[in-house]
């Protein structure tokens, strides 16, 4: 007879490791499953940042104390220790392919404020995960790497999790298996979600870049035959190093070709003159509308499994922790069902569903679908004021919208066609804008 765990957590990323740690600390018996063999080795492209540190996210204010490595979600009181290296990031800048830029904060100014001026921190995500895993194991969590989950089924009062190793049984399951969640697919929960498109990413770590400023995240916002395609250059926790990611929302775009164009031929190629492209990581993530009700058959869904596009490491950590707390309460109350985990479902509703408009995060990615590279050069050239420092995709569109609003009379006179395109961004459903770049057969339904 299979061992019955209080909780089976599927996926040992930030959400799953936090869930396992919090559950273990609170005395639950936990099995943590992960398809990779070496859990702390990062295999999936990621910015590795913890953000935001200068504004609210999910109704939370986040804090990091560099002296003791204490990261805390202050309003919920959930915390964890990160004992790896980190670097403060102070500003964010978006470039068009032609070299025009939008500034959200200015690093040289904000750096004078020290920790108060930072918008995020760069971490070593492998060390972060290793720390959470160590804390989880110290509280009795059993970890099963090299275990791929292929099905999940509720049978009686247990949830059975079928995997490449064996079948696990839990009173509850927390699905933390990411943007292409197998569990979400098995539970049939992708059927009612609008599918936007699939995001493809390749990543190369680079040293020796010549960027306009330090301690700043750079985006290069472009389109390749109308497909929104970007390059992000994110400082790593190690001085002088950057995680450089190339992203497209149209899987037909050849990312290596785009990367080589940016690095060797574009107006921004001087940034890259002393570096090589060496792809070490990649990622592919389906983008759907958010899952509004993150519970079915005693499975709680956390992190990228429920978010639109991505939760950020912080959203993953917070939702994983909240779900584990809810499971503990359910077990204490003897309510082994939806009612028992109401604290998680209520939190999700107020923290995310009722807080952020449905398409908001996607607005950060679709400029290239409505504008040409030349249009973006023109628009960015009009926006010279430094906008409020932010790196949060849920507040950036608002800052940009405000700045654009100030120059509308100029655009009306010089390029009324651009106003039409901005109108599309504001009013047209994102799935319609992305339809030419989207393949519905990839929707994993």
Beta-carbon neighbour count of residue 68 at 10 Å?
9
Helix (H) or strand (E) holding 65: strand 62-65
Q: Kindly tell me which residue out of 181, 311, 364, 438 binds another protein, with binding defined by CB under 8 A.
A: 181
Q: Give rounded-to-5 percent helix, strand, coil for the chain.
A: 35, 30, 35
Does 407 interact with another protein (rule: CB under 8 A)?
no
Q: Choose between 38 and 274: whose C-beta lies nearer to another protein.
A: 38
Token representation of residue 76: 């919920």
Q: Which stretch binds another protein (CB under 8 A): 77-85, 254-262, 324-332, 340-348?
A: 254-262
Q: Choose between 3 and 150: whose C-beta lies nearer to another protein.
A: 150
| N residues, the chain | 445
Q: Choose between 120 and 200: whose C-beta lies nearer to another protein.
A: 200
Check if the beta carbon of residue 103 is closer than 8 Å to that of residue 216.
Answer: no
How far is Cα 218 from Cα 222, in angstroms, rounded to an integer? 13
**Residues near another protein (CB under 8 A), total:** 39
**Minimum gap (Å) between residue 231 Cβ and another protein:** 14
Does 442 interact with another protein (rule: CB under 8 A)?
yes
Q: Kindly tell me which residue out of 12, 15, 20, 45 binds another protein, with binding defined by CB under 8 A.
A: 45
Q: What does the DSSP assignment read for 204-241? A: EEEES---SSSSEEEEEEEEETTEEEEEEEEE-SSTTE
Binding mask 196-215 for another protein (x = CB under 8 A): --x-xxx-------------
Does 164 interact with another protein (rule: CB under 8 A)?
yes
Does 134 interact with another protein (rule: CB under 8 A)?
no
How far is Cα 280 from Cα 300, in angstroms, rounded to an integer? 32
Does 43 interact with another protein (rule: CB under 8 A)?
yes
How far is Cα 295 from Cα 285, in angstroms, rounded to an integer? 21
CB proximity list for 271: less than 8 A, separation 6 or greater: 209, 210, 211, 233
Q: Kindly tell me which residue out of 4, 36, 399, 415 binds another protein, with binding defined by CB under 8 A.
A: 36
Does 38 interact with another protein (rule: CB under 8 A)?
yes
Q: Kindly tell me which residue out of 122, 262, 285, 326 binds another protein, with binding defined by CB under 8 A.
A: 285
Q: Choose between 274 and 439: whose C-beta lies nearer to another protein.
A: 439
Beta-carbon neighbour count of residue 273 at 10 Å?
11
Provide the pairing of β-strand 167-175 with 4-10. parallel
φ/ψ of residue 12, rounded to 5? -110, 50
Does 303 interact with another protein (rule: CB under 8 A)?
no
Q: Choose between 390 and 438: whose C-beta lies nearer to another protein.
A: 438
Q: Choose between 39 and 317: whose C-beta lies nearer to another protein.
A: 39
Binding site for another protein (CB under 8 A): 35-38, 41, 43-45, 146, 148, 150-151, 164, 177-178, 180-182, 185, 198, 200-202, 251, 254-256, 279-286, 439, 441-442, 444
């Amino acid at each position: 007879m299979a061992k019955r765990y209080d909780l089976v957590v599927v996926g040992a990323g930030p959400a799953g490791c936090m869930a396992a740690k919090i559950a273990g600390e609170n005395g639950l018996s936990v099995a943590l499953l992960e398809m990779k063999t070496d859990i702390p080795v990062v295999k999936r492209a990621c910015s590795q940042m913890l953000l935001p540190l200068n504004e609210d996210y999910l109704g939370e204010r986040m804090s990091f104390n560099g002296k003791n490595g204490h990261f805390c979600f202050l309003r919920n009181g959930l915390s964890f220790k990160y004992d790896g290296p980190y670097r403060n990031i102070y500003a964010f800048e978006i470039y068009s392919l032609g070299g025009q830029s939008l500034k959200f904060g200015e690093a040289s100014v904000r750096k004078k404020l020290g920790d108060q001026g930072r918008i995020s921190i760069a971490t070593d995500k492998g060390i972060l995960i290793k720390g959470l895993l160590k804390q989880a194991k110290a509280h009795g969590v059993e970890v099963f790497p090299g275990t791929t989950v292929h099905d999940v089924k509720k049978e009686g009062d247990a949830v059975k999790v079928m995997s490449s190793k064996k079948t696990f049984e839990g009173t509850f399951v927390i699905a933390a298996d990411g943007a292409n969640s197998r569990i979400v697919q098995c539970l049939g929960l992708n059927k009612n979600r609008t599918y936007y498109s699939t995001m493809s990413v390749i990543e190369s770590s680079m040293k020796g870049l010549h960027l306009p400023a330090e301690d700043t995240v750079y985006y290069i916002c472009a389109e390749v035959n109308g497909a929104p395609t970007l390059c992000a250059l994110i400082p790593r926790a190690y001085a002088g190093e950057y995680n450089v990611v190339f992203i497209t929302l149209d899987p037909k775009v050849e990312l290596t070709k785009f990367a080589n164009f940016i690095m060797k031929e574009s107006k921004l190629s001087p940034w890259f003159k002393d570096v090589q492209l060496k792809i070490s990581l990649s990622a592919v993530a389906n983008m759907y509308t958010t899952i509004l009700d993150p519970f079915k058959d005693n499975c709680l869904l956390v992190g990228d499994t429920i978010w639109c596009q991505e939760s950020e490491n912080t959203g993953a950590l917070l939702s994983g922790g909240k779900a584990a707390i809810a499971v503990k309460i359910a077990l204490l109350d003897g309510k082994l069902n939806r009612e028992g985990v109401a604290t998680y479902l209520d939190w999700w509703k107020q923290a995310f569903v009722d807080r952020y408009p449905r398409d908001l995060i996607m607005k950060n990615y679709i400029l290239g679908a409505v504008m040409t590279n030349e249009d973006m050069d023109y628009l960015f050239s009009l926006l010279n004021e430094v906008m409020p420092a932010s790196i949060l995709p849920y507040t950036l569109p608002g800052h940009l919208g405000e700045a654009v609003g100030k120059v509308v009379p100029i655009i009306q006179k010089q390029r009324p066609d651009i106003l039409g395109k901005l109108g599309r961004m504001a009013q047209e459903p994102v799935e319609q804008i992305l339809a030419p770049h989207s393949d519905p057969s990839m929707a994993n339904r």
